[in-house]
């Protein structure tokens, strides 16, 4: 009798969704994109790890819009206008880095740019980088900043944004930025006077098939000479139904996700009805099918040795059977493995 190594992984048809991987083609900001997020009550980001379940469906909506407008040029220089702040970035060697920040109070140019994201980026990845820059504050004050950014893809799972929006394949990215700020009217004394610090923790939830984060929390604490001064907290939500940008790359990903989900649902259908009869020298499986299917039957022992392997194609409503000759097999426990269009059933039998 032919003996084969019994490997379920090779015989079963699994439909495991690939984890969300952030790529420049599907997750980089794009020219002329406009996104309006909702300002919502701040919420704890939840724990990190695998297969986490985040539910933000009950958080309060502050009814204030958080507007994001994006643009870029042919030299891979990007700009984001976020409410009243303007951020400028360069995309270099698969990394997006901030080179400038400006608003009505300050303007900072980064001689050592601040890293924002590296691509591709997936669960378990992390990147750390220093930054530094200088500029002016309230026109007449010189300002110098330096610090460090650490970015980690710390968890993945499912995200509930509202009672109508539950999304799978969600990757959460955690960014912690520590900044030292020196300010003085006299540039000679700027490194030794009026020192301030800032620690910012930011969480972004990226769902597969969506370019921009669908949920974001920010907690920013300011210090003066290492003494805490104030903490500000923000949270923003982007409901999928409110996204009105054309995005062929992500639309294609979403269509593929829908097809894979439909296939998975079909594979999980119970379309076989069977019973197993264990007689003296025969193990017989009698079965019927609700629809046409390919059926694989295997009998193997606890050591993974296959003693019989039968494959049949059956139609709906037919009375069908599989027969395994157990003559000559040693006494003991065996497993009956049945694969019906990718869905697996297992039964244990005893041969005496």
The two tokens of residue 170 are: 């969600």
Q: Within a domain: residue 263?
A: no
Q: Within a domain: residue 253?
A: no
Asked which of 217, 247, 277 is the last residue of a domain, the reply is 247
Residues 184 and 243 both lie in one domain: yes
Structural domain range at position 124: 24-247
Residues 310 and 166 both lie in one domain: no
Q: Within a domain: residue 264?
A: no
Residues 217 and 84 both lie in one domain: yes
Residues 200 and 69 both lie in one domain: yes
Residues 174 and 288 both lie in one domain: no
Residues 126 and 172 both lie in one domain: yes
Asked which of 183, 212, 247 is the last residue of a domain, the reply is 247
Residues 227 and 307 both lie in one domain: no
Our measurement of the distance from residue 67's CA atom to the centroid of its chain's CA atoms, rounded to an integer in Å, reads 24
**Closest CA relative to residue 28, chosen from 70, 85, 88:** 70
Asked which of 195, 213, 247 is the last residue of a domain, the reply is 247
Residues 273 and 230 both lie in one domain: no
Angstrom CA distances, 202 to 70, 136, 191, stand at: 20, 25, 28
* Structure confidence by residue, pLDDT tens digits, 240-271: 988 989 899 999 998 888 787 777 666 677 88
Residues 307 and 273 both lie in one domain: yes
* Structure confidence by residue, pLDDT tens digits, 299-347: 988 887 888 889 999 999 899 999 888 887 888 889 999 998 878 899 9
Q: Within a domain: residue 189?
A: yes
The domain that holds 323 is classified in CATH as 2.60.40.1930
Contact at 8 Å (CB) between 65 and 82?
A: no
| Strand duo 293-301 + 227-237: pairing | unpaired
Q: Within a domain: residue 258?
A: no
Q: Within a domain: residue 260?
A: no
Residues 214 and 279 both lie in one domain: no
Q: What's the pTM?
A: 0.74
Residues 236 and 328 both lie in one domain: no
Residues 6 or more apart from 214 whose CB is under 8 A from it?
Answer: 159, 161, 167, 170, 205, 206, 207, 237, 238, 239, 240
Q: Within a domain: residue 213?
A: yes
C-alpha angle 100/103/108, rounded to 5°? Answer: 30
Tens place of pLDDT per residue across the chain (352 aa) = 334 333 343 444 333 446 899 999 999 999 999 999 999 999 999 999 999 999 999 999 998 999 999 999 888 899 999 988 999 999 999 999 999 999 999 999 999 999 999 999 999 999 999 999 999 988 888 999 999 999 999 999 999 998 877 899 999 999 999 999 998 766 666 665 668 999 999 999 999 999 999 999 999 999 988 889 999 999 999 999 889 898 999 999 988 887 877 776 666 778 899 999 988 788 999 999 998 888 999 998 888 788 888 999 999 989 999 988 888 788 888 999 999 887 889 999 888 7
Instruction: State how many domains the chain has.
Output: 2
Q: Within a domain: residue 9?
A: no
């Amino acid at each position: 009798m032919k003996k084969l190594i019994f490997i379920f992984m090779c015989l079963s048809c699994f439909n495991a969704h690939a984890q969300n991987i952030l790529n420049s083609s599907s997750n980089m900001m794009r020219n002329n994109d406009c996104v309006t997020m909702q300002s919502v009550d701040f919420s704890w980001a939840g724990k990190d790890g695998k297969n986490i379940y985040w539910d933000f469906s009950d958080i309060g909506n502050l009814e204030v819009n958080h507007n994001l407008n994006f643009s870029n040029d042919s030299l891979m220089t990007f700009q984001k206008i976020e409410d009243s702040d303007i951020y400028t970035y360069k995309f270099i060697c698969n990394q997006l880095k901030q080179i400038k920040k400006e608003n009505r109070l300050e303007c900072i140019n980064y001689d050592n740019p601040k890293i924002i994201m590296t691509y591709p980026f997936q669960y378990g990845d992390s990147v750390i980088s220093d930054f530094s820059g200088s500029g002016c504050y309230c026109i007449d004050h010189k300002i110098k900043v330096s610090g460090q950014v650490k970015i980690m893809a710390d968890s993945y799972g499912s995200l509930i944004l509202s009672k109508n929006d539950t999304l799978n394949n969600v990757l959460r990215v955690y960014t912690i930025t520590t900044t030292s700020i020196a300010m003085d009217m006299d540039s000679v004394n700027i490194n030794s006077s009026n020192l301030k610090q800032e620690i910012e923790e930011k969480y972004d939830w990226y769902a597969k098939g969506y370019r921009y984060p669908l949920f974001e929390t920010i907690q920013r604490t300011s210090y003066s000479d290492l003494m805490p001064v104030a903490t500000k907290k923000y949270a923003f939500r982007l409901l999928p139904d409110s996204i009105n940008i054309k995005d062929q790359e992500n639309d294609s990903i979403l269509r593929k996700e829908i097809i894979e989900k439909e296939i998975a649902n079909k594979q999980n259908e119970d379309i076989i009805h069977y019973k197993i009869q264990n007689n003296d020298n025969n193990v017989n499986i009698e079965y019927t099918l609700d629809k046409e299917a390919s059926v694989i039957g295997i009998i193997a022992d606890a050591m993974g040795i296959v003693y019989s392997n039968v494959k049949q194609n059956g139609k709906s409503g037919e009375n069908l059977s599989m027969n395994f000759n157990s003559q000559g097999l040693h006494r003991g426990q065996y497993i009956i493995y049945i694969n019906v269009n990718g869905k697996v059933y297992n039964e244990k039998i005893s041969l005496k």
